[in-house]
Structure 1
């Protein structure tokens, strides 16, 4: 349960809406006119942002915030939310995620209904009442100046490697590409040496799975960091150690319940700042490709205000 404080101020100005019509393989595409009409009931002008790709989406969100938007709403999955967060993080502009994607982990884990129409109703009520709730975000930085915010989970192990392979594959299309990438990477599974610094304390360990969570779940409900709380000012780090193929196949289904953390080869940590390094790993945050290791991750308390 989120223990957060409500604030009774939402900036005046139009509601900017970023919508991804391809989110969730387009299953909510036809809902957008209804969602926009419902948002108008908040008594603000509603402006749909134009964007043809993720980079344009992020730029459109930044421009809307700079131009005086009173709120930003993202209709889509975690990838769409991720783009919007880059614009509102650290500002007074409140944010409303409407879960309409394949993975809606940030929205659901921060207390929004899983149904898009119900989520919009929550956002409209908050706008009318001038109410927003602060929650934490994680800030990801690199030595050469790279900088991203994320809301849910950073993957830097087997799941990130699978994502990287799937993104390089041209065939097959759709979910089967990930299934095939999992099979290929399972065959190549080996522990890697990670250097982990948690609030300055050094750890060197061999692992196949490393996740750093602001909220508990990723990948559409996999509770990889089950105890993560986006209002405690801390990051949860879950490390799966020298796990072989058979054990990984057996443990992986337990991630949906979060019970994998009781396995003797799984360790959990909590820290405000996490520095992470390993050779040949590209991180993924909120399901989106981010930076090659090494990276530094910092919990930023109350970095975004949610319309709920």
Structure 2
């Protein structure tokens, strides 16, 4: 199989569009934007600044900017704001710069971006670009949504009113807030059909033996096809390693392999869910008996009907934002995004 080209290089940055959504995220977006704009002015970078009233409006703005004569589109915000920008810049050559101003900031963690607005603006001015894979979600109605970090299922819509409020998330921080939400997850029966399945590299023999015992095979079928139907608390399809504020949900994920790493927490009680969460903190969960890990090109995910012949709707979250409802197809899109990041 021919691997895609992951181009790197430098762009001359003299004119950028800065987009922000002050009404979402950690509540500091407006202040961070002002600091970044001031630094761009010091650097002699011309800026057009745009503000969306919400993420949908920000996405609409970016849609109108991708064909404009900007050297880069710069997003000020957290993971959900970057996700909104990616919906319009994915599979294009438009460089995306990032000024971190969110709760989780897992994109910033992935690319080791500076945490101060001025320093992040300096990175953008230097103009080093890298090309990475994205994930893509699609449903039967033809809706498509891209993501950069991970897409997660099994967040129960019935629990949505009880989930941690955004204000409390700001007060507790992303990790503690994610813990509160994670502990609410209840197992449901899911059907996951993998395509292009392969082994997660560098996994230890204990974890491999657990996987073999569950799947009834040592290696995937010749076409990389496998169907699971199991009670699942949580399933993550990772393009990047981190999710929910630095949790190493998919610690072996690689943005240059045209594949998604999959982490599944299966039929765990509250103690097991707690153990999984603690394992995510350090990435030490890959050999837990109730956690399965896979690497795939594509997967179709659906809820299995209950004994009454019905299935409740289930949401998929991607980059920390509500995305589509099951059933969905989740796949890797190679070399689909260009980001401006610190030079190696």
Once the two structures are TM-superposed, the CA of residue 70 in structure 1 deviates from its matched residue by: 2.5
Once the two structures are TM-superposed, the CA of residue 37 in structure 1 deviates from its matched residue by: 2.6
| 1:192-240 per-position Cα deviation (integer Å, ceiling 9, x unaligned) | 1111111143222221110101101111111111111111111011001
- 1:62 is aligned to 63
- 2:156 is aligned to 161
| 1:133-178 per-position Cα deviation (integer Å, ceiling 9, x unaligned) | 1011111111110101111111102xx237x734x45996622799
Kindly indicate whether the alpha-carbon contact (under 8 Å) linking 2:21 and 2:29 is maintained by their aligned counterparts in 1.
Answer: no
Kindly indicate whether the alpha-carbon contact (under 8 Å) linking 1:277 and 1:295 is maintained by their aligned counterparts in 2.
Answer: yes
- 1:14 is aligned to 15
| 1:244-285 per-position Cα deviation (integer Å, ceiling 9, x unaligned) | 112212331221111122211101000111211114311111
Distance 1:133 1:176, change over 3 A: closer
Q: Cα RMSD (Å) of the superposition? A: 2.9
Kindly indicate whether the alpha-carbon contact (under 8 Å) linking 2:135 and 2:332 is maintained by their aligned counterparts in 1.
Answer: yes
Mapped pair 1:195 → 2:191: yes
| 1:47-79 per-position Cα deviation (integer Å, ceiling 9, x unaligned) | 111311111111001111133333111111001
Structure 1 distance, partners of 2:120, 2:237, is 26
Mapped pair 1:175 → 2:168: yes
The alignment covers a number of residue pairs equal to: 296
Kindly indicate whether the alpha-carbon contact (under 8 Å) linking 2:14 and 2:44 is maintained by their aligned counterparts in 1.
Answer: no
- 1:282 is aligned to 315
- 1:237 is aligned to 262
Kindly indicate whether the alpha-carbon contact (under 8 Å) linking 1:225 and 1:236 is maintained by their aligned counterparts in 2.
Answer: yes
> What is the SS of the residue equivalent to 2:285?
helix
Kindly indicate whether the alpha-carbon contact (under 8 Å) linking 1:165 and 1:181 is maintained by their aligned counterparts in 2.
Answer: no
**Which structure's CA Rg is the greater one?**
2
Which sections of structure 2, spanning at least 5 residues, go unmatched? 196-224, 304-310
Distance 1:233 1:8, change over 3 A: same
- 2:209 is aligned to none
Distance 1:305 1:261, change over 3 A: same
- 1:265 is aligned to 290
Distance 1:196 1:87, change over 3 A: same
> What is the SS of the residue equivalent to 1:259?
coil
Distance 1:255 1:136, change over 3 A: same
> What is the SS of the residue equivalent to 1:122?
helix
TM-score by length of 1: 0.86
